Amino acid sequence: MALTRADVLVVGAGAAGLMAACCAAARGRQTLLLEKSERPGLKILISGGGRCNLTTTRTGQDLEDQYGSHRGRWLRHALRSFPPAALRELVERQGVPLHEEDLEKIFPVSRRARDVLDAFVRLATGAGTELRTGCAVTSIGRGSDGFLVHAAADVFLARSVILATGGLSYPKTGATGDGYPWLRALGHTITATWPALAPLAVDAPWIHALQGIVLHEVELAVLAPDGRVLRRRRRPILFTHRGLSGPGPMDLAGDIEELAGAARLRFDFAPDRSREQIEQEWLREVAQHGRRHVGTLLPAGLPERARTALCSLAGVDGALAALAKEARRRLLDVVKNLIVPVRRSLGYAHAEVTRGGVALDEIDGKTMQSRLVPGLFVCGELLDVDGPIGGFNFQAAFATGRLAGLHA
């Protein structure tokens, strides 16, 4: 077996690994980047529907809050030292112009994720990184002289190792959780992992019947078994033949998975108006337009198929004048408080990220170095960090990868 030496060995050529290698090599460290797939950055290529939602326009505290309070605080240094504006500037300097789209998302103007990937491969190799693809690392151990890293036919000896092997989502891209057992063996804690940012499987015929409809002005809330609201989202919802997709439902998948079958989803189809306001409006409508169909009471933006489904869920039909008080209450409940049990998402095969990972209190948030194993660095989705749809996951991967590369 051939022994190859390096100052810094980076495992995994996704967003975090490419950025880490680029920064380590730019500091003059002899840097080797090992990738098990035949090509680097497969997830960048398929991201954002092949267009790569690179980052977001959100900044500062607002940006940190998107990852939750504990994780956001831990990420503060990474995000403030490499905010979205710095990531944008880096990519644009590589000749890839970017622009903003809906939901504060930043995309390449070319609409090609490949341009972003090529820019990062160019940055890493241009700085002197040696990239080896088709090289699957199988184990990592500590020697007297650094880390001994084994791949199929090769052994590597490195002073520092940066692990950037990602999580468990979309395993066909190479992310199969390889880093977790290595880190456990080195003494690290891996928190429970869940699929996140995935479409939801929902066993409700009315939802399947609305397949293809997109709603924008609806608020979804995940309810715990005791009725507590765990998270609310007011982002687009797509009804599918299996359940719900689109940014709103997908953002909630991680919370639903964590509730392990006990989650309920609450729909509010008129989030800007209280029950009392709606009831007053409806009473006026009934008095003035008694001959109209009850479906006309429903929010104006709802398509006809959705109106029919909601009326039928409430068990109401016919003219407004004939709408009894009890039936009006039922319709109001459907509009403001429609609750559907949702046991699971479509799982890792469809999840954009993995929730959970390497425990953050064991990693120095200023350098990404392990607090347990000097010389070992962890970055990207392998960490217990995840954000909503909107470029937040790449932003965290690039920012943590950068810190690892600057300190390894």
Ligand X SMILES: Cc1cc2nc3c(=O)[nH]c(=O)nc-3n(C[C@H](O)[C@H](O)[C@H](O)COP(=O)(O)OP(=O)(O)OC[C@H]3O[C@@H](n4cnc5c(N)ncnc54)[C@H](O)[C@@H]3O)c2cc1C
**The residue to which tokens 């064991």 are assigned:** 362
> Mask 302-341, x = binds ligand X (CB under 6 A)?
----------------------------------------
Q: Which of 219, 251, 257, 381 binds ligand X (CB under 6 A)?
A: 381
| Of 407, 399, 380, the residue nearest 43 (C-alpha) | 380
The tokens for 295 are 């479906």
Work out whether 13 is an interface residue with ligand X (CB under 6 A): yes
Q: Which of 6, 14, 91, 180 binds ligand X (CB under 6 A)?
A: 14
Choice between 67 and 269, CB closer to ligand X: 67
Q: Is 264 exposed, middle or buried (0-12, 13-18, 19+ CB in 10 A)?
A: middle
Work out whether 129 is an interface residue with ligand X (CB under 6 A): no
H/E stretch holding 222:
strand 219-223
Q: Which of 16, 123, 363, 378 binds ligand X (CB under 6 A)?
A: 16
Choice between 52 and 265, CB closer to ligand X: 52
Work out whether 388 is an interface residue with ligand X (CB under 6 A): no
* Angle formed by the axes of helices 15-26 and 392-407, nearest 10°: 30
In 3-state terms, what secondary structure has residue 368? coil
Q: Which of 31, 53, 193, 308 binds ligand X (CB under 6 A)?
A: 53
Work out whether 136 is an interface residue with ligand X (CB under 6 A): yes
Question: How many Å apart are CA 173 and CA 367, to the nearest integer?
Answer: 27
Choice between 15 and 253, CB closer to ligand X: 15
- Beta strands 243-245 and 237-239 are antiparallel
Q: How far is the CB of 232 from ligand X (least distance, A)?
A: 21
> Which range of residues in 44-52, 141-149, 271-279, 331-339 is near ligand X by CB under 6 A?
44-52
Question: How many Å apart are CA 163 and CA 366, to the nearest integer?
Answer: 16
Tell me the residue type at 233.
R
Q: Alpha helices of 169-267 — where are they, by DSSP H? A: 179-185, 205-209, 247-258
Q: How far is the CB of 286 from ligand X (least distance, A)?
A: 47
Q: Report the C-alpha dihedral over residues 397, 398, 401, 402, rounded to 10 degrees.
A: -160
Work out whether 244 is an interface residue with ligand X (CB under 6 A): no
User: Which residues contact ligand X by CB under 6 A?
Assistant: 11-17, 34-37, 42-43, 46-48, 52-53, 136-137, 164-166, 169-170, 174-175, 178, 352-353, 380-381, 391-394, 397
